[in-house]
Structure 1
Amino acid sequence: MNHFCQYAKKCNSCQLCNLSYEDQLRHKEHICRKYPGKLCTVKKITPSPRITGYRNKAQFVYKREGKRLVSGLYKSATHSVMAADHCAICTDTANAITAALAKLFYSFKVMPYDPYTERGWLKSVVIREAAATGEVMAVINGADKSFPAKRTFTTALQKACPMLTTAVITVNRDRTKLFTGKQSEVLFGSGTITDILCGEKFIISPTSFYQINHDQTEQLYQKALELAELSGNEIVLDAYSGIGTIGIIASRKAKFIHAVELNPAAIADAKRNAQLNGIDNIRFTAADSRDYAKRLTEKDARVDVAFIDPPRAGCTSSFLNSLAKLSPDRIIYISCNPETQARDLRVLGRLGYRAEVCYPFDMFPHANHTESVVLLTKKD
């Protein structure tokens, strides 16, 4: 029995915490053998460099207990808050900040929001950290703009949490939403943090998607690049590009990158990141990957290699059809859901591609999710 966390039995975030880490790895490798493994060779899973304190993004909620305010974790199954003064998979920095904030909120009479009565203001706090630079951001999420004593609170926050480099308030008026809102106001600092991943700099804003396990992400991306076999002459498609991490890292070894992402805010971040790194051989487009791939086929555009990193639901069949018509020599499929990945591999198999090899990575120790990278090549 793995008692790495005193809250393990009550919290449903770490579904595999009752297993030893070796058994967790065996379980996740088995999942990959069960799904993409039916179509290709599955290599030994790559363990996470860290199995506690690995999350660079921590989300906390708060509740009133007697005469104090306590931090805790949101249990989506019951829509309740489980009081916890720390989380074992979050960093010591994040745990210290959320504990300090609980005392600050109470002293400033900032009360937790109740979605049923719509009373209170505080919905949640998100702590984001840049592992390579040590920069730390606090995102305080509230129900409206009426945060009390903002200036005095900011001064107290900087004194209580000197490790913070920036703090932001966001407003989310949706009664059912607890986490980061769209309207934001910077309390101090730049409102962003900057991390370094595989040698490239990335600006992270409050709403940016960024992989939560920095060191393991580097290993995963290095494997993806190795499988792509870029020589400097390739035209690359980076689908579901987010803030541009894979495309920017690959750009040093490619001739040109087409990067496409549906979220306009992520594209804005990606363009800033390309500029920050002095990269001019990548074009970011805010569009549905399916529509963009179709436009490229209509233009008879050349694509030699494709990186695809879709959400858990996987790719649409129309995107995969357009991708196959582009006829890249190699497709690198990164997935956080081996089941939908296997489904898409079968579709690509019918469209002329062969799944060659799958590399599993444990991106989320103690949680049930498994990340995998699959190489596909064109059939003869």
Structure 2
Amino acid sequence: MEKIQQNQKFPLTIKRIGINGEGVGYFKKQVVFVPGALPGEEVVVEAVRAHPKFTEAIVKKVRKRSPHRVKAPCPVYEQCGGCQLQHLEYAQQLKAKRDIVIQALERYTKFSVEQLEIRDTIGMEDPWKYRNKSQFQLREMKGKIVSGLYSMNSHRLISVPECIVQHPITNKVNNEVRRILEDFRIPIYNEKTKKGIVKTIVVRVGVETGQVQVVIVTTGKELPRKDMIGKEIKKRLPEVVSVMQNINPKKTSLVFGDKTQKLAGTDYIEEKMSAFSYELSARAFFQLNPEQTIKLYDEVKKAANLTGKEKIVDAYCGVGTIGLWLAEGAAEIRGMDVIGEGIKDAKKNAAKHHLNNAMYVTGKAEDILPKWEREGWHPDVIIVDPPRTGCDPEFLKTLLKIKPKTFIYVSCNPSTLAKDLQAISKQYEVRYVQPVDMFPQTSHVEVIVKFVLKV
């Protein structure tokens, strides 16, 4: 097979959208990924990186445009990289996301996708201004502080003063906090010189409550005039009820470090979804799109099909959101997570809603579940909502030993879901796969899979 050479130009027909939002085509039986190209388009591309199994290319000319191509409304869309699909009609984004799930299943499992019930993606009526949390990196440029996101595959910071997928309050608060740091002449961390103090501004809003939390992420404990900064933020931004400092000295892609301390206000903000309210501390996980989260959790509830007699485990439970959603229809809910702050919040949330049938503990599910089993407590339903890396292999081994009748997997990464699905399917039948669009304009897709124990 003739290998594609770097800088080689060639015609290509785009067949589908890839997992990172790029167009996918085939040239001389080789896979070619082309950012910005859409299914059905005929393009001339130039190879920019040739790998043994695939080639990355850029569009040089569009010979035939997709009828579903639209003009991206964001002025920095092509530089930013935070969104990947703003140039595609929203209805087609939903179809592409279902196809991304199918691609992952085809690649990582032995299933014939025709055997599986893969449902249409559940979307939003208004797919803009939905993100309740912003994490903007900071840079000092010509005496001014710039906040924004890194360009795709680089550490070049793109200034994003007004992100159109962010809730408007997060944009407003981020910009004002940036100005306050500028006014107080706080040194901004410089990756090259390794000098400076503040790395990131994180803003989270309770969409229903209007309460806002600001977290200033620093390289160490030092933050000059920290009390004055906290007071000034509260003075200029009355909606901010919590100002925190998180200390992250590590040189990693992770935003938060292990230590968080209060600068002003409360330790947490409150958010409401349907009949439930939640206390959210700085590092506690909470879904970024509350409107779609309600749809997601309602789908989990449908999948659990509760009668009131079930014992449920909410593994990787965070602040207990999924468990609370299901608690009323269950005999008992037990949850666990490795982040102790989240478990504290989960306990508070359960107590606040007078749920006497909920119990939360800190630790790994693969350690705790066998202990409960030895004590004679056996779950009927296990729900898991793991990070992007998927389930820990030890957790999957534990699941297959404990054998609940129903297992519900909520995934934010179709590739790791598909790999885990292959292992789970040894003992479980896949009832259906339900994609949910939690992040419109991006290539991310959330997926719920209902598994039932084979008889």
**TM-score, normalised to structure 1's length?**
0.93
State the Cα distance separating 1:350 from its structure 2 match. Answer: 1.1
**In 1, Cα distance between equivalents of 2:95 and 2:161:** 31
Residue 369 of structure 1 is matched in structure 2 by 444
Secondary structure in 2 matching 1:64: strand
Structure showing greater radius of gyration is 2
**In 2, Cα distance between equivalents of 1:174 and 1:325:** 38
**In 2, Cα distance between equivalents of 1:170 and 1:318:** 31
Secondary structure in 2 matching 1:259: strand
Measured at CA, do residues 157 and 260 of structure 1 come closer, stay the same or move farther in structure 2, by a change above 3 Å? closer
**TM-score, normalised to structure 2's length?**
0.78
Do the aligned residues in 2 keep the contact of 1:335 with 1:371 (CA within 8 Å)?
yes
State the Cα distance separating 1:325 from its structure 2 match. Answer: 3.0
Measured at CA, do residues 215 and 42 of structure 1 come closer, stay the same or move farther in structure 2, by a change above 3 Å? same
Measured at CA, do residues 350 and 81 of structure 1 come closer, stay the same or move farther in structure 2, by a change above 3 Å? same
Q: Is 1:302 aligned to residue 378 of structure 2?
A: yes
**In 1, Cα distance between equivalents of 2:222 and 2:422:** 52
Residue 165 of structure 1 is matched in structure 2 by 241
> Per chain length, whose mean CA-contact separation is higher, i.e. which structure has more relative contact order (CA < 8 Å, sep 6+)?
1
Residue 75 of structure 2 is matched in structure 1 by 6
The one-letter amino acid paired with 1:366 is Q
Of residues 412, 415, 431, the one that matches 1:339 is 415
Q: Is 1:103 aligned to residue 172 of structure 2?
A: no
**In 1, Cα distance between equivalents of 2:366 and 2:230:** 44
Q: Is 1:215 aligned to residue 284 of structure 2?
A: no
**Bigger strand share:** 2
Do the aligned residues in 1 keep the contact of 2:79 with 2:151 (CA within 8 Å)?
no
**In 1, Cα distance between equivalents of 2:367 and 2:450:** 23
**In 2, Cα distance between equivalents of 1:316 and 1:147:** 37
**In 1, Cα distance between equivalents of 2:241 and 2:394:** 44
Secondary structure in 2 matching 1:248: helix
The range that moved more, 38-47 or 205-214, is 38-47
The range that moved more, 164-173 or 209-218, is 164-173
Unaligned 5+ residue runs, structure 1? none
State the Cα distance separating 1:105 from its structure 2 match. Answer: 1.4
Q: Output the aligned Cα RMSD.
A: 2.0
Measured at CA, do residues 153 and 299 of structure 1 come closer, stay the same or move farther in structure 2, by a change above 3 Å? closer
Cα-to-partner distance string for 1:174-232 (whole Å, 9 max, x where unaligned): 24467333333322211210112242221101101111000100101001101111111
Do the aligned residues in 1 keep the contact of 2:406 with 2:450 (CA within 8 Å)?
yes
State the Cα distance separating 1:13 from its structure 2 match. Answer: 1.3
Q: Is 1:324 aligned to residue 324 of structure 2?
A: no
Do the aligned residues in 2 keep the contact of 1:124 with 1:179 (CA within 8 Å)?
yes
Cα-to-partner distance string for 1:35-81 (whole Å, 9 max, x where unaligned): 45725201111002442211111011222232422222234732232
Cα-to-partner distance string for 1:270-292 (whole Å, 9 max, x where unaligned): 11221222212122122212222
Residue 148 of structure 2 is matched in structure 1 by 72
Do the aligned residues in 1 keep the contact of 2:81 with 2:152 (CA within 8 Å)?
no
Percent identity between matched residues is 30
The range that moved more, 327-336 or 297-306, is 297-306
Cα-to-partner distance string for 1:340-359 (whole Å, 9 max, x where unaligned): 222222222212x1101111
**In 2, Cα distance between equivalents of 1:98 and 1:245:** 26
**In 2, Cα distance between equivalents of 1:198 and 1:83:** 35
Q: Is 1:31 aligned to residue 106 of structure 2?
A: no
Do the aligned residues in 2 keep the contact of 1:123 with 1:178 (CA within 8 Å)?
no
Q: Paired residues, what number?
A: 379
Where in structure 2 are the equivalents of 1:1-380 lying within 5 Å? Answer: 1-36=70-105, 38=113, 40-75=116-151, 77-176=153-252, 179-351=255-427, 353-380=428-455
Cα-to-partner distance string for 1:331-377 (whole Å, 9 max, x where unaligned): 111111222222222222212x1101111100011122110111111
State the Cα distance separating 1:255 from its structure 2 match. Answer: 0.7
Measured at CA, do residues 119 and 365 of structure 1 come closer, stay the same or move farther in structure 2, by a change above 3 Å? same
The one-letter amino acid paired with 1:72 is G
State the Cα distance separating 1:83 from its structure 2 match. Answer: 1.6
The one-letter amino acid paired with 2:161 is D
State the Cα distance separating 1:116 from its structure 2 match. Answer: 2.8
**In 1, Cα distance between equivalents of 2:392 and 2:230:** 46
Cα-to-partner distance string for 1:283-313 (whole Å, 9 max, x where unaligned): 2122212222333444453221111112222
Measured at CA, do residues 10 and 239 of structure 1 come closer, stay the same or move farther in structure 2, by a change above 3 Å? same
**In 1, Cα distance between equivalents of 2:323 and 2:83:** 31
**In 2, Cα distance between equivalents of 1:262 and 1:154:** 30
**In 2, Cα distance between equivalents of 1:336 and 1:4:** 26
Secondary structure in 1 matching 2:79: coil
**In 2, Cα distance between equivalents of 1:293 and 1:206:** 28
Secondary structure in 2 matching 1:368: coil
Unaligned 5+ residue runs, structure 2? 1-69, 106-111
**In 2, Cα distance between equivalents of 1:311 and 1:149:** 36
State the Cα distance separating 1:134 from its structure 2 match. Answer: 1.1
State the Cα distance separating 1:125 from its structure 2 match. Answer: 0.4
**In 1, Cα distance between equivalents of 2:299 and 2:380:** 18
Do the aligned residues in 2 keep the contact of 1:3 with 1:18 (CA within 8 Å)?
yes
Measured at CA, do residues 2 and 191 of structure 1 come closer, stay the same or move farther in structure 2, by a change above 3 Å? farther
The one-letter amino acid paired with 1:111 is P
Do the aligned residues in 2 keep the contact of 1:115 with 1:175 (CA within 8 Å)?
no
